[in-house]
Chain A
Amino acid sequence: MAEKFINKKDFISNLPKIYGTYTGGFLIFIILMAIAEQAGMDAKTIGIMFVAFTVAIYALIGWISRTVQVDAYYVAGRQVPTVFNGMATAADWMSGASFVAMAGGIYFGGYTYMAFLVGWTGGYVLVSSLMAPYLRKFGCYTVPDFIGTRYGGNAARFMAVVVLTLASFTYVTAQINATGTIASRALGIPFELGVWVGLVSILLCSMLGGMRAVTWTQVAQYIVLIIAYLIPVFWISNKNGFGFFPHFMLADEVARLNDLEATFGLVKNAAADIKAAGVPGGLKSISVPHSDVPAGGMAAWKFISLAICMMVGTASLPHILMRYFTTPSVKAARKSVAWSLFFIALLYTSAPMLATLSKISLLDPNLPTGLIGKPIAEIMQIEWVNAWINVKQAFIADFNGDGILQLNEWFMRGDVVVLATPEVAGLPYVISGLVAAGGMAAAMSTADGLILAIANALSHDIYYKIVDPKADVRKRLLVARALLIVIGAAGAYIASMRITSILGAVAWAFDFAMSGLFFPLVLGIWWKRATRAGAVAGMIAGLGSGTAYLIYVGPKFMAQTPWLGIDHLRFGIIGAVVCLVVMVVVSLMTEEPDSATQKMVDEVRIPSGKTILGKAH
């Protein structure tokens, strides 16, 4: 019944109505919770209600979207309209880290950190002009499917799967970790259990319906996460009289922060002092300016090089590229990239505003919420300060022993900026519950996309294309689902061991992807002369050199001095350049691709006509 319903044209044309009703329902749920809070429902119950209610809805969507068809499972039947695919991509893109940690990153890192903002949005220009429309015309199910067909042979396909798995798996453990943290906090269960609750929620959304189910849950998750992000930003700004529309009206606050930094002084604490005071790990104090640009060419290069890595990485990450395989046409794929970035920009342009609001609330002595310059004994009486210090998310170290809180004596974890700001600004608890639901939605949607990208590549490219090309549909989908569980469980197991810190930064996923995949993808479309040997050699050399360089400079590995400021967050620059050079040289040394391949590239370049790969392959 549901199978029939969701395949009908009616379903697609009714989407605005369906998601409109859903959004209305969610807003009513928020209001009901607010009323319940007034009636005396306690904070813990509200948190549980928010997370449980939203996850139950996602699971329901996942169940309704179940399918037994290959093209529905891999590419959502290629019928996702542009705007909805934009929302799904935005949810796919914005991870738990974007939602919870980005504002905190800006809070502590100021202008320098905002290179991530530029990088994580600018990459979409590359996606739209170089990649998405052509990959859509190709008609592949996965990114390695394109590499394998364009260059031919199992070696190219296999290498693409290796890069995809490495990049996506680096990313996914962090996401499962985030769902575990939020689930454990909201439901009041231990972290180790929270991770598995998170995993079950993630699999409920993806297992039965593959890409189709993930698409429709991601749209639902986007709606929750954007509401949860924007309401506090607007509310705090209006409540404190900073401005009706914060994005255009916080200039005075940014200028005021500049003055306050001059008054308080930006002091970088010595590592020995921090250790002696017993500051818990991961907590930071403000030591860099909010809006000032650090001086010197090296600082500018660090900003630019980070932005380049994030942009090129964005255009190489398979879980994002595969979202554009689901649109009905090439034209729709292009438009859909634009809508994706529009929906992403709604959150990304709000993050600096939230960081500003949060910082001014804590720093400005003229505001009732200001902490700096007040007696520590007095601050310790504040309820939220106590609560966050108790869970080791905030800390006070009175270095100079004067009993007054200085700027460099207030430590907190970056996540607190998003999680605690509503509480600090005195908003009702219902908003904190909403923020928890938003963080859960952000982490779940990204984890779903990543796990599906890995499982699809392994099931389609390794199992079906290489191991058992005769497998029937039933068997292929069975393998795809089994892999989904195995990969999810592996991610959850690693997350529950709490060893994620050694797996490194989210930025690594971008660097791995750009080292191995960017040029094979781009040149596969834009350079007919690119050969199989060139692509295979490029992927091996790019990934190999990038990884070797990471081990050379990585602080947890050999920790050698980076070359030209290219540190472990930026190793993709080395990998991608090596990949390009090797790929071009080897391609020119080998015989040019046969006429069938050249003709295929010609076909990819025009939107009209049949896709290269059949509807179901």
Chain B
Amino acid sequence: MSNKERHWEKTKGLMMLTLAIWFIFSIVIFMFGESLNNGSFLGYPLAYYMCAQGSIVIFVVLIFWFANRQEKIDEEFGFAERGEDE
């Protein structure tokens, strides 16, 4: 496998993992909203908390994490941009 192909395999893997986490916190947990609400966080009912704050905060962290991981992958295979950035 060429360098490019291996880079793309790893990139795809990261994408799948990111979307799996996204899927859990945007869709799966809300399938069980009713029972989830019996739990609590910071005193809020849990399902209410997850859509008011919890999932949103997780999305923010997830995207920062994803961006860092992808940068590492690009560097590993020598495809990171040089020079101009930020």
Contact = CB atoms under 8 A, between A and B. Distances in A.
A331 B59 CA distance: 18
B1 interface: no
Count class of interface residues, chain A: 35 or more
Contacts of B4: 602, 605-606
Interface string B3-17: 010011001001100
A330 interface: yes
A331 B79 CA distance: 11
Contact of B48 (A252, A254, A308, A602): A254
A345 interface: yes
Interface in A301-356: 303-304, 307-308, 311, 328-332, 334-335, 337-338, 341-342, 345, 348-349, 352-353
A337 B70 CA distance: 13
B4 to A, nearest CB: 6
A332 B40 CA distance: 37
B19 A114 contact: no
A307 B85 contact: no
Contact of B27 (A114, A308, A608): A308
Interface in B37-60: 37, 40, 42-45, 47-48, 51-53, 55-57, 59-60
Contact of B67 (A128, A345, A605): A128
A247 interface: yes
A578 interface: no
A334 B67 contact: yes
Given A124-B63, A607-B81, A117 B74 contact: no
B56 A329 contact: no
Given A125-B18, A307-B26, A328 B56 contact: no
A251 interface: yes
Contacts of A334: 66-67, 70-71
A608 B82 contact: yes
B31 to A, nearest CB: 5
B57 to A, nearest CB: 7
Interface stretch (A148-156, A185-193, A288-296, A508-516): A288-296
A311 B26 contact: yes
A312 B39 CA distance: 29
B36 to A, nearest CB: 7
A557 interface: no
A306 to B, nearest CB: 10
Interface in A43-59: none
A593 interface: no
A551 interface: no
Nearest to B40: A251
Given A328-B84, A329-B81, A293 B34 contact: yes
A263 to B, nearest CB: 18
Contacts of A251: 40, 42-44
A133 interface: yes
B76 to A, nearest CB: 12
Contacts of A341: 59-60, 63
B37 A292 contact: yes
Nearest to B85: A329
A376 interface: no
A126 interface: yes
B50 to A, nearest CB: 8
Nearest to A301: B31
B45 A122 contact: no
Contacts of A30: none
Interface in A70-117: 81-82, 111, 114-115, 117
A81 B86 contact: yes
Contact of B26 (A122, A300, A602, A605): A122
A125 B59 contact: yes
Contacts of B52: 114, 117, 349, 352-353
For A119, A308, A345, which residue has the most chain B Cβ atoms within 10 angstroms?
A345
29 contacts: A82-B86, A114-B48, A115-B30, A117-B51, A122-B25, A122-B59, A125-B62, A126-B22, A250-B44, A251-B44, A254-B43, A290-B48, A293-B37, A293-B47, A293-B48, A304-B30, A304-B31, A307-B27, A328-B85, A331-B71, A334-B70, A338-B64, A338-B66, A338-B67, A349-B53, A353-B52, A607-B74, A607-B79, A607-B80
Interface of B: 4, 7-8, 11, 14-15, 18-19, 22, 25-27, 30-34, 36-37, 40, 42-45, 47-48, 51-53, 55-57, 59-60, 62-64, 66-67, 70-71, 74, 78-82, 84-86
Given A126-B22, A300-B30, A608-B74, 8 more contacts: A114-B52, A291-B48, A331-B71, A337-B63, A349-B53, A352-B52, A607-B81, A608-B82
Interface of A: 81-82, 111, 114-115, 117-119, 121-122, 124-126, 128-130, 133, 247-248, 250-252, 254-255, 290-293, 295, 300, 303-304, 307-308, 311, 328-332, 334-335, 337-338, 341-342, 345, 348-349, 352-353, 602, 605-608
8 residue pairs, one from A and one from B, having the closest CB atoms: A251-B43, A291-B48, A122-B26, A352-B52, A293-B33, A114-B51, A338-B63, A334-B67
